Homo-oligomer: A and B are copies of this chain.
Amino acid sequence: MAGKPKTAISPTREENYPEWYQQVVKAADLAETSPVRGCMVIKPWGWAIWEGMQRQLDARFKATGHVNAYFPLFIPMSFLEKEAQHVEGFAKECAVVTHHRLEPAPGGGLQPAGKLEEPLIVRPTSETIIGAMYAKWVQSYRDLPILINQWANVVRWELRPRVFLRTAEFLWQEGHTAHATSEEAIEETLKMLDVYAEFAENIMAMPVIKGEKTPDERFPGAVNTYTIEAMMQDRKALQAGTSHFLGQNFSRAQEIKFQSKDETEEYAWTTSWGVSTRLVGGLIMTHSDDDGLVIPPRLAPKHVVIIPIYRNDEEQSQVLAYCESLAAELGALRYHDEPIRVEVDNRDLRGGEKVWQHIKRGVPLRLEIGPRDIADDSVFLGRRDQGPKDKSAVKRSEFISRVAAILDEMQQSLKQRALDLRAASTHEIDTLDEFRDFFADDASGGFALTHWGGLDPQVDDVLKPLKVTPRCIPLDGPAEPGTCPFTGRPSPRRIVFAKSY
């Protein structure tokens, strides 16, 4: 192993990507498994990233005319049954509440008591309970559209949980809208897909492909599901957000009816759309490296950490005072309409240990400040998008005037790096042999742009053993007729295939 550079995270991405992911989560102190099967604990640093996502998504939802509200955690079992495909999709992964109290058990300890007349399901998603309320609220076309979002926890019983990516309980937002016309509902569905894509690309620095899901990958009960698909560094796809056009399926099941302008009774057209704490997993896997987490500046809970370096009490008071005044000056500056977030790390730890902690936690900029830096009126700067040893002295005034620009450079360079990886790992594939080769092993793979002639068992026969799925029919892709290599049928355009999370 001589000559191999040491990394803070072991194994490296190349050595074992899934295990690297777990180690990055651990080293950055983002989250932990809990004593409750499949449920995670989101620790303060991980929560702060999610909080940043919430804040910036929420502003976008409000800017597009939505308001927030809150609906019950529980759904009566009979509500789920009303939409046949919907219950089919969620019945196998429901947490079911059957009792409403505990009583002493005959053998000691406690047992459930007070059996409910009808079991309640902990919401896996809220179309049915929200639909029941909309049915009460909507009478006339004047009551439409309803444009509501909810921030909530949901539960889907997962047999193979994976922190942030697939957990029994997760946090999300779910938008639920109702409209008088099909056109308006479709416009809403695509508008929110655009909001998600813009957020992913500009705030998360995570490029995504906007597309339509193939029929077998739709949300249970949807007429059409749209998705944003991102490529992780192991070249697998992550479905990062979905927006569903529900047609009149749920409004028929829930009786959301209204009197139209022509005084006829019609069913409303509904949509739903959501992103979840899974985005934190996507953020980690898009940008992090073998030294740990890398956070794009637009989502960093701290932009700058200042590490005071001193050897004795006299130096300490001088250095600390300098660091605090620098922090105050930086904190008064703004970066994209938010204050620059600065921390002075004055914990009783060795400087080197602190530096490595902040590298592993992904803080964009580190300033080490000792007496010599003060004498020189400069800061010793380390950037998280450069190697841990690529540090350089920068005049304090220059740093102050450039800090927002540096953060933006980092934001752009992270996005560019992700775009480059995606470009290098996306290939047009036209034959079955090429397709099988492309996905043959973990070292290869990526996005295959391949013609597709529609659902068919012959397609599944090829995809299943490779663990590949159709990710989406890109909205922005060219209409380029060709032949489906799986079935030989004509195909209107290429679609994206990949292994996925």
A residues contacting B by CB (< 8 A) are 32, 34-36, 39-44, 46-48, 51, 67-81, 87, 91-103, 109-112, 114, 119-122, 129, 132-133, 136, 142, 148, 152-153, 155, 157, 169, 171, 348
Contact call B41/A69, Cβ cutoff below 8 A: yes
Q: In whole angstroms, how far apart are the Cα atoms of A152 and B42 in the complex?
A: 13
A96 to B76 CA separation, bound complex (whole angstroms) = 14
A36-B74, A122-B122, A153-B153 as given contacts; A94 in contact with B98, CB under 8 Å: no
Question: How far is A129 from B41 in the complex, measured between Cα atoms in Å?
Answer: 10
Are A100 and B110 in touch, CB under 8 angstroms?
Answer: no
CB within 8 Å for A51 and B69 given contacts A41-B133, A75-B36, A101-B92: no
- Kindly list chain B residues whose C-beta atoms are within 8 Å of the C-beta of A91: 101-103, 110
Contacts of A35 in B (CB 8 A): 76, 79, 129, 132
Q: Could you say how many copies of this chain the assembly holds? A: 2
Which among A36, A120, A132, A171 has the greatest number of chain B C-beta atoms within 10 A?
A36
Contact A94-B102, Cβ < 8 Å, known A44-B69, A68-B47, A133-B34: yes
B103 and A73 contacting across the interface, CB-CB below 8 Å: no
Given contacts A68-B51, A69-B42, contact A112 B119 (CB under 8 A): yes
Complex CA gap A112/B41 in Å reads 27
Chain B residues, CB < 8 A from A121? 102
Closest to A150 in B: B47
Are B110 and A77 interface neighbours, CB within 8 A?
A: yes
CA–CA, A101 to B73, complex, Å?
Answer: 17
Q: What would be 19 A-B contacts, judged by CB atoms less than 8 Å apart?
A: A34-B71, A35-B79, A36-B72, A41-B70, A46-B69, A73-B153, A74-B95, A74-B169, A78-B109, A81-B109, A92-B101, A92-B102, A93-B100, A95-B100, A96-B98, A96-B99, A97-B97, A97-B98, A101-B157
Closest to A75 in B: B36
Shortest distance between the CB of A165 and any CB in chain B (Å): 16
Q: Which of B47, B69, B73, B148 contacts A69 (CB 8 A)?
A: B47
Nearest B-chain residue to A32, judged by Cβ: B133
Residue in A68, A96, A120 whose Cβ sees the most chain B Cβ within 10 Å:
A96
Q: Is there an interface contact between A96 and B87, defined as CB atoms closer than 8 Å?
A: no
Which of A80, A110, A169 is most buried by chain B, counting CB atoms within 10 A of its CB? A110
Are A120 and B76 within 8 A (Cβ)?
no
Further pairs besides A34-B129, A87-B110, A94-B99: 5, Cβ < 8 Å: A42-B69, A48-B68, A73-B122, A97-B98, A98-B112
